[in-house]
Amino acid sequence: MGTCRLLDEFAQRGGYELYETTVFGEEIGGAYNRIQLGKVLAGEAPDTIVTKPPEWYDQHGIRLLSGTRVKSLDTLRRTVETEDGRSRGYDLAVLATGSQPLVPPLEGMRGEDGELRPGAFVYRTIGDCIRMREYTRAGDSAVVVGGGLLGLEAAKVLSDRGLHVTVVHVAKTLMNAQLDSTGGTMLGRQIEHAGIFVRAGRTVEAAYGDERISGVILDDGTSLPADLLVLACGVRPRVDLARASKLPVNKGIVVNDTLATSVPGVYAFGECAEHKGKTYGIVAPVWEQACVLADVLCGTNPQVRYRGSKLYTRLKVAGVDVASMGSLEPELESDQVFQIIEERRSAYRKLIVRDGHLVGAMLVGNTAATATLVQLFDRGDPLPEDPLEALCQFRGGGAAANADRQVCNCHKVSERALRDAISNGADSVEALGESTKAGTGCGSCKTELGQLIKSLVKPAPALEVAS
Ligand SMILES: Cc1cc2nc3c(=O)[nH]c(=O)nc-3n(C[C@H](O)[C@H](O)[C@H](O)COP(=O)(O)OP(=O)(O)OC[C@H]3O[C@@H](n4cnc5c(N)ncnc54)[C@H](O)[C@@H]3O)c2cc1C
């Protein structure tokens, strides 16, 4: 996804007049929206999530070598060595190798060849989704290990396909990296309400079965039958290529504020990169880095620097709207906490306020105020005297007051830009996506885009023809 964005940013800056560009991709085909992999797992054609088909590369004069893994770079001779034994020269190399799923060393998980046994899957690529959906049918049982974003998403899709699904999560509450225990509990209730079983505070100790996996044993000794085992236990930066190329690697590939490694001519960005000790696991920082790197490499703004990303996530987790930003808990004694708990709806909203400014927020089940909160958090604007009013500002502020708020967080599209696009004729969510990119990232703002169109597009006047 990072490379896809970098290629677009290059196009906007005339980068293809400066560089002859080759993209090496281990996966087959062009770029696709990994965030929407759930659609492929659900049964849709992979093409529906492809963002750059091979023709796009041809049209832009870019050589796409898909299905080609790069083994190493020889950074002295400036050559790229690929797995098929070929070697190609380069002037500048950019690594955007992403992340790889963590596979816990569970007993019975791997066969004698070291590969995952039939029935065990990770959830990272189109290939994983196709293999998983071909392996299962309605009525099968699935155990998903990991109650974070990916695990819950996989669980929902599989449950919607008629599987009996249990999520096993090591922490006491779900999505504990983004939600406090109340938020995680509310989310857990909604997930169970959707028909998915949750075993929180438990770990899988071993997998069993003969030819293929047929169940797992939990740490309390319980045995759960499972035709399918989905491992969604987190990711770590993919650094095998960087290591083989003797690039500086810590948790990720170490880069500075221009996304350069210490080896001249080699840059890295995206989930594989480590900047100021931090690696990222969502797409917004990856895209911010792509913009900086394009400015540096195309010379359009060579003094620009990447200073790190403020993290906020707005997600549709298994059908439940969730947003989270900044701190999960107060950190200073003077921090104030505001919470609204709606027991009946299993909805939850929480703000953490420091000196009149928002330092953390989480919303479960009712995320209407996300855009306002993201703006307050991102810019550090002062909160209203009663901070809870920030949860309602999106309704009472009026069009002018809200015009600057960011509706699409992935592509940083403001309400003003959307209003302009609508008045220029974009009258559907798809048309808004084409003209502004809004809604084409994680897609969690699409409902809001629809509402905005509805409120602004006047129905065509009825035509009465007298005959
Ligand atoms: C199922 C799923 C749902 C997600 N949902 C969300 C969401 O809702 N919101 C959000 O913000 N983020 C989400 N993410 C995370 C998001 O997809 C990532 O942040 C994003 O893809 C990172 O982009 P990247 O370019 O760094 O890495 P990737 O998109 O992983 O791309 C890296 C590519 O490099 C290739 N590669 C690696 N090594 C080599 C090599 N040696 N030679 C050739 N090719 C190589 C890999 O095969 C891969 O195709 C989700 C991820 C998954 C898997």
Angle at 367 between CA 364 and CA 371, to 5 degrees: 135
Angle at 149 between CA 145 and CA 153, to 5 degrees: 80
DSSP string, 382-418: BPPSSGGGGGTHHHHSHHHHHTTSEEETTTTEEHHHH
The minimum-distance atom of ligand 1 relative to the CA of 241 is: 41
Which residues of the chain register pLDDT less than 70? 393-402, 458-467
3-state secondary structure string across 113-141: CCCECCCEEECCCHHHHHHHHHHCCCCCE
Distance 48 CA to ligand 1 centre (A): 17
pLDDT for 391 equals: 84
Query: 3-state DSSP helix/strand/coil percent for the chain, to nearest 5?
Result: 30, 25, 45
pLDDT for 397 equals: 43
Pocket-testing residue among 5, 94, 283, 309, ligand 1, by greatest number of atoms within 8 A of Cβ: 283
Q: Is the CB of 183 under 6 A from ligand 1?
A: no
Residues 258, 264 contacting (CB under 8 angstroms): no
The minimum-distance atom of ligand 1 relative to the CA of 273 is: 26
Q: Is the CB of 73 under 6 A from ligand 1?
A: no
What does the alpha-carbon distance between residue 44 and residue 232 come to, in Å, rounded to a whole number?
21
What does the alpha-carbon distance between residue 364 and residue 347 come to, in Å, rounded to a whole number?
5
The pair of structure tokens assigned to 124 is: 């990272």
pLDDT for 302 equals: 95
Q: How many CB atoms lie within 10 A of CB 397?
A: 14
Residue recorded with tokens 């221009």: 258
The pair of structure tokens assigned to 59 is: 């049209």
The pair of structure tokens assigned to 117 is: 């046994």
The minimum-distance atom of ligand 1 relative to the CA of 38 is: 1
Q: By C-alpha distance, which of 155, 127, 143 is closest to 209?
A: 143
Residue recorded with tokens 């109340």: 182
pLDDT for 466 equals: 61
What does the alpha-carbon distance between residue 298 and residue 223 come to, in Å, rounded to a whole number?
57
CB crowding 128-155: b at 16 or more within 10 Å, else e: bbeebbeebeeebbbbbbbbbbbbbbbb
Angle at 141 between CA 138 and CA 143, to 5 degrees: 135
CB crowding 335-365: b at 16 or more within 10 Å, else e: eeebeeeeeeebbbbbbbbbeeebbbbbbbb
pLDDT for 301 equals: 96
Q: Atom 35 (ligand 1): residue with closest C-alpha? A: 97
Pocket-testing residue among 5, 34, 90, 125, ligand 1, by greatest number of atoms within 8 A of Cβ: 34
Q: Is the CB of 154 under 6 A from ligand 1?
A: no
Burial of 396 (0-12, 13-18, 19+ CB in 10 A): exposed
Q: Is the CB of 128 under 6 A from ligand 1?
A: no
Distance 125 CA to ligand 1 centre (A): 8
Q: Atom 10 (ligand 1): residue with closest C-alpha? A: 282
pLDDT for 453 equals: 87
Identify the DSSP state of 1: -
pLDDT for 462 equals: 60
What does the alpha-carbon distance between residue 451 and residue 467 come to, in Å, rounded to a whole number?
38
Q: Is the CB of 255 under 6 A from ligand 1?
A: no
The pair of structure tokens assigned to 180 is: 């406090």
The strand pair at 164-169 and 141-145 is best described as parallel
Distance of CA 3 to the CA centre of its chain: 15
pLDDT for 77 equals: 97
Amino acid at 261: T
Residues 364, 183 contacting (CB under 8 angstroms): yes
Residues 236, 99 contacting (CB under 8 angstroms): yes
Amino acid at 212: R
Distance 98 CA to ligand 1 centre (A): 5
Q: Is the CB of 322 under 6 A from ligand 1?
A: no
pLDDT for 446 equals: 85
Q: Strands, DSSP E only, in 63-203?
A: 63-66, 70-74, 79-82, 87-89, 93-95, 99-101, 120-122, 141-145, 164-169, 197-200
Cα distances from 299 to residues 79, 156, 294, 303, in angstroms, run 24, 45, 8, 9
Q: Is the CB of 376 under 6 A from ligand 1?
A: no
Q: Which residues make beta-bridge pairs with 95?
A: 268
pLDDT for 464 equals: 59
The minimum-distance atom of ligand 1 relative to the CA of 2 is: 25
Pocket-testing residue among 35, 291, 317, ligand 1, by greatest number of atoms within 8 A of Cβ: 35
Q: Atom 36 (ligand 1): residue with closest C-alpha? A: 97
Q: Is the CB of 98 under 6 A from ligand 1?
A: yes
The minimum-distance atom of ligand 1 relative to the CA of 99 is: 30
Amino acid at 206: A
Distance 272 CA to ligand 1 centre (A): 9
Distance 460 CA to ligand 1 centre (A): 43
Q: How many CB atoms lie within 10 A of CB 394?
A: 19
Q: Atom 4 (ligand 1): residue with closest C-alpha? A: 35
pLDDT for 87 equals: 97
pLDDT for 398 equals: 46
Distance 23 CA to ligand 1 centre (A): 15
Q: Is the CB of 1 under 6 A from ligand 1?
A: yes
Identify the DSSP state of 382: B
The pair of structure tokens assigned to 341 is: 């708990």
pLDDT for 57 equals: 97
What does the alpha-carbon distance between residue 145 and residue 219 come to, in Å, rounded to a whole number?
13
The HSE-up count of residue 207 (CA atoms within 13 Å, CB side) is: 30
Identify the DSSP state of 161: T
